[in-house]
Amino acid sequence: MAEMDSPLTNPALRAIRRILRATDRSGGKLYAATGLTTSQFLVLQEVERRGEATPSAVAAALQFGQATITNIADRLVGLGLLTRHRSERDKRQVIMAATESGRAALARAPDLLQERFRDRFEGLQDWEQAMLLAALERVCVLLDATDIDAAPLIETGAIDRPGGTRS
H-only helix segments in the chain = 9-34, 38-50, 55-62, 66-78, 100-108, 113-122, 126-142
Does one domain contain both 100 and 58? yes
3-state DSSP call for residue 112?
coil
Does one domain contain both 38 and 65? yes
Does one domain contain both 20 and 98? yes
Does one domain contain both 65 and 140? no
Domain boundaries, position 121? 111-147
Does one domain contain both 91 and 141? no
> Mean per-residue pLDDT for 137-162?
78
Does one domain contain both 14 and 82? yes
Task: Report yes or no on whether pTM surpasses 0.85.
Answer: no
Q: How many domains does the chain have?
A: 2
Last residue of a domain, one of 90, 109, 128: 109
pLDDT in tens, 103-136: 999 999 998 888 899 999 999 999 999 999 999 9
Using alpha carbons, list the distances in angstroms from residue 109 to 81, 98, 102, 113, 123: 14, 15, 11, 12, 24
Does one domain contain both 66 and 135? no
For position 165, what pLDDT does the model report? 38
Domain membership of residue 4 (yes or no) is no
Share of the chain above pLDDT 90, in %: 61
